[in-house]
Amino acid sequence: MPLILETIVTTLSPAGELHLVPFGLIEDGADWILAPFRPSPTILNLDANPVFAASSPRDVRVIAGCVTGRRDWPVVPCAEIRGMRLADSFAHAELAVVSVEDDATRPRYRGRVLRQESHAPFLGFNRAQSAVLEAAILSTRLHMLEPEKVLSEMRYLAIAISKTAGPREREAWGWIEDKVSAALGTDRILANPDAA
């Protein structure tokens, strides 16, 4: 299995509008594969401006926010590409698309790193941060998974939230819980995450 790195990918439209979205980049030698599903603003943006930035967010609310419709996060200009990167990140890479493997469902864009920078030391995620990441990914697969599978995994992940979450992780978890409970018509796993 290849390494898949969970990042925030940013692209620009021809008009210069930012699109910011979580993506798992697939390692392939020195390159990284970006494989968005159609239809996608990322595909339209890459076809017009074949570069992207990938950032490792310091705040897991960015990932939870993106999958729950909260995409307004601070960005700063990239150094070598026409684009923007997440401002609050451990590190970022600026990549150019060097080839495209077209596909009717999920084209694969091969990105080559032009620049890579570290911005803050990464000491690791705590269990709650990892749980938020997993729950965010799970919340994007609600149309593919059985409700009981989703709820079972959410119940397990909620243990880490109740034991190790700080205010940011609790807020992020709440956004995801709201999305999942609305989609499945169920109560929240943690009825009051602030009190957990």
Q: How confident is the model at residue 125 (pLDDT cuts 50, 70, 90)?
A: confident
Q: Rounded mean pLDDT of the chain?
A: 94
How far apart (Å, rounded) are the C-alpha atoms in residues 93 and 35? 17
pLDDT at 1: 77
What whole-number percentage of the chain has pLDDT above 90?
90
- In this prediction, residues 108-115 reach a mean pLDDT of 98
Residue 151: is its pLDDT beyond 90? yes
pLDDT at 183: 94
Q: Which domains does the chain have, with CATH numbers?
A: 4-118 (2.30.110.10), 127-195 (no CATH)
pLDDT digits (tens, 9 = 90+) for 162-177: 999 999 999 999 999 9
- Helices in 2-146 by DSSP H: which ranges? 41-48, 61-67, 127-139
Distance of CA 19 to the CA centre of its chain: 12
Task: Tell me if 52 sits within 8 A of 10, measured CB to CB.
Answer: yes
Task: Tell me if 36 sits within 8 A of 70, measured CB to CB.
Answer: no
Structure tokens at 33: 């594969």
CA contacts within 13 A on the Cβ side of 183: 20
- In this prediction, residues 27-55 reach a mean pLDDT of 96
Q: Is 168 helix (H, G, I), strand (E, B) or coil?
A: helix
- Helices in 22-166 by DSSP H: which ranges? 41-48, 61-67, 127-139, 147-164
pLDDT at 152: 95
How far apart (Å, rounded) are the C-alpha atoms in residues 154 and 173? 10
Residue 191 phi/psi, 5° resolution?
-60, -35
pLDDT at 191: 63
pLDDT at 195: 42
- In this prediction, residues 85-95 reach a mean pLDDT of 97
- In this prediction, residues 96-115 reach a mean pLDDT of 97
Residue 196: is its pLDDT beyond 80? no
pLDDT at 92: 98
Strands (E), the chain: 4-12, 18-28, 31-34, 51-57, 75-77, 84-86, 89-101, 108-118
